Amino acid sequence: MKIITTPDKRLREKSEKVRQINFEVLDIINDMRKLSLDWEAKHPYELSAAMAAPQMGVLKRIIIIRDDMEDKKNAHFTALINPEVTKTEGKTVVDFEGCLSVPKIYGKVPRPLKVRVKAKTEDGKEIRIKATGELARTLLHEIDHLNGVLFIDHIRDKSDAFYYMDDKGELLPVKNYEKDVRDNKKLWGEE
């Protein structure tokens, strides 16, 4: 298992619902946790906050979310199966997002401030989550993956919303990075 990156077409597909939480599903969740932490170990300036199953080429509606998105020492992730957005609320907030599947590129993405999500946990319990801010943003980003949508799709003003991370972990505007790129899609290889 490995993390797939753009322009892999599987990132653009819609994932199917999990019908039964069996050993195969639990194995997938374990692989996701492991891959997230492996990725983090190789990226000293970034924290692996979450991941969706299609990011390892498994087209099933499963995501994992880091319990503490500030503290790298807390390596626990909660898995959500068949997560669904039931409501979004509040003003639209623009903030940076990155993605394990879109290497080095960061962007300023508008998202609603609050979200309500319904999902199942690994033990089959139905849960409802009311999230705000960073957690709401992360849930929306990961649920997007299950529909073949990437954060870059939400950026309308393509001229100055993209950043890249240099070797020291600093975010720099893409304009200074590649002056000649007219179409930013080239940055993540989809064109």
Q: What are the b/e assignments for 73-99, b being 16+ CB within 10 Å? A: eeeebbbbbbbeeeeeeeeebeeebbb
Q: How many helices, marked H, and strands, marked E, lie in the chain?
A: 3, 7
- Judged by CB under 5 A, the stretch of 34-42, 61-69, 98-106, 182-190 that binds Zn ion is 98-106
Q: Is 79 in the site for Zn ion (CB under 5 A)?
A: no
**Paired residues of 165 in beta bridges:** 171
Given its phi and psi angles, is residue 90 left (phi above 0), alpha (psi -120 to 50 degrees) or beta? Answer: left
Task: Please say which residue, 21 or 164, places its beta carbon nearer to Zn ion.
Answer: 164
Q: Of 29 and 99, which CB lies nearer to Zn ion in the complex structure?
A: 99
Q: Which active-site residues does the annotation give?
A: 142
What is the token pair recorded at 80?
Answer: 């959500």
109 scored as a contact of Zn ion (CB under 5 A): no
CB of 2 to Zn ion, least distance (A): 15
Using CB under 5 A, which of 79, 99, 115, 174 touches Zn ion? Answer: 99
- Contact at 8 Å (CB) between 129 and 79? no
Is 53 one of the binding residues for Zn ion (CB under 5 A)? no
**Least distance (Å) from Zn ion to the CB of residue 13?**
14
Q: Which segment (19-27, 30-38, 94-102, 170-178) binds Zn ion by CB under 5 A?
A: 94-102
CB 86 within 8 A of CB 118: yes
Nearer to Zn ion, 65 or 119 (CB): 65
Q: How far is the CB of 182 from Zn ion (least distance, A)?
A: 25
The footprint of Zn ion (CB under 5 A) covers 99
